[in-house]
Structure 1
Amino acid sequence: MSHFIGIDVAKATLQVYIPQGQVDLEFANTTSGLHKLYKTLKLSIKSRFKSWFWCMNQRGVIQGL
């Protein structure tokens, strides 16, 4: 079974979605927010992190194309 975590990266926030369990979370895009994200995921994910696929997407328009 594949496991996915989607993270939408904005300047101020990280919007995290875990399809398994339909969990939708938001964290500050700061060092403190990243620590909270890690702790939350470590507690909520029962399997090892390396078996998960992490998808990250930057919000906004990509300039220079």
Structure 2
Amino acid sequence: MDRSALRGAIAAELETNLLPFWRERSIDHVHGGFIAEMASDGAVRDDAPRGLILNARLLWTFSALH
């Protein structure tokens, strides 16, 4: 796979799978901000502490991509 094709494949994966997954599951609509911890089955742990670094990374990622 050449560099251009790889770049396209990565962009497609990001736009069709990764971003929609986190956009739908990471926002905390009850308390505001972002979900701090999620199990592999998608269960959210509401009592997990929220860190500044997690919030900064999510804000930066979504801001940079939109």
TM-score, scaled to structure 2 = 0.29
As a proportion of its length, which structure holds more helix? 2
TM-score, scaled to structure 1 = 0.29
Larger relative contact order (Cα-Cα within 8 Å, sequence gap ≥ 6): 1
Max Rg structure? 2
As a proportion of its length, which structure holds more strand? 1
